[in-house]
Amino acid sequence: MSDDIQKVTRPSYGRRTYILDREFQLKYIVLLAGIGAGSILVFGILAHRIHVSAVATGADGGESLLWLTGLATLGAALALGLFGLLFTHRVAGPVHVMSLYVAALAAGRYPRLRPLRKKDELKRFFERFSEAFERIRQREAEEAHALESAMEALKGVATTPESRAALETLNALHTRKRQAVDNPTGGTFKSVA
C-alpha cells in the first residue's frame, strides 16, 4: 500500500473569521490602539524634549530618560489597567447576570429578566438569550395548559387506583409547571453595577 492511503486525515477546525461582532470588537481594538499610541506619543515628545535640553546644555540626559521611561511605563500600565477594569466590568456584569438566570432556569424557575445597564456590552447576545428564555417559559406554560386539559378529560374516567395515581402525577407536574411560569422570581437578581 502507498503511504497516502495509510495516512489518516483529520478535519481542520481552524477559525478564519476574527471579527465576529464588528461593532464590539472594533470599538475596543481602536480604544486599545489609541491608548497605546497615545502613551508612546507622549513618551516620545517628552523624550525628545529631554534630549534637546541635554544637547543644548551639554549635559547627559540618560538619567532623565531612564526616569521618564519608568514613569511612562507606570502611566501606561495604570491607564491600561483601569481601562481593563472598566471593560471587564461591562462584559463580566452581563455574563454574571445571565449565569444567575441560567441557574434559576436549571432549578425550574423563570425569573423576570431585567435589562442590561446602559453601557454594558453583549446587548445583542442578551437579547437572543432573553428571546430563548421567553420561548422556553412560553413552552412550559403551553405544556401546563395541555396537562390541565388532559387532567380534565381524564378526571371522569380515572376509576382504578393506577389511573388515579397517574392523574395525581400529572397534577403534580402541572402544579410545578404553573408555579414556575406564573410566579417569576424578581428580587433574587440584584444589579452588578
Q: What is the pLDDT of residue 4?
A: 55
Cell triple for residue 135?
420561548
Residue 99: which domain range?
20-182
Domain for residue 187, yes or no? Answer: no
d(C-alpha 15, C-alpha 126), whole Å:
24
Average pLDDT for runs of 10 along the chain of length 193: 59 70 87 89 89 84 83 89 89 91 88 90 92 92 93 90 92 90 62 39
- Choose among 144, 110, 115, 140: nearest CA to 127: 115
Q: What is the pLDDT of residue 8?
A: 63
Q: What is the pLDDT of residue 167?
A: 92
In this predicted model, what pLDDT tens digit does every residue of 31-87 receive, in sequence order?
889 988 998 999 889 888 888 888 888 887 778 888 888 888 898 899 889 988 988
Domain for residue 71, yes or no? Answer: yes
Q: What is the pLDDT of residue 62?
A: 78
Phi, psi of 179 (to 5 degrees): -65, -40
Cα–Cα distance list, 125 to 18, 112, 192 (Å): 17, 17, 18
Q: What total of structural domains would you count in the chain? A: 1
Q: What is the pLDDT of residue 10?
A: 65
b/e burial code for range 147-156 (CB count within 10 A of at least 16 → b): beeebeeeee
Contacts of residue 68, Cβ cutoff 8 Å, sequence gap at least 6: 43, 46, 47, 50
Domain for residue 82, yes or no? Answer: yes
Domain for residue 140, yes or no? Answer: yes
Cell triple for residue 55?
544637547
Q: What is the pLDDT of residue 69?
A: 87
Q: What is the pLDDT of residue 142?
A: 94
Beta-carbon count within 10 A of 90 CB: 16
Domain for residue 8, yes or no? Answer: no
Q: What is the pLDDT of residue 7?
A: 63
Domain for residue 24, yes or no? Answer: yes
Domain for residue 5, yes or no? Answer: no
Q: What is the pLDDT of residue 58?
A: 83
Q: What is the pLDDT of residue 135?
A: 94
Domain for residue 90, yes or no? Answer: yes
Q: What is the pLDDT of residue 181?
A: 84
Q: What is the pLDDT of residue 103?
A: 92
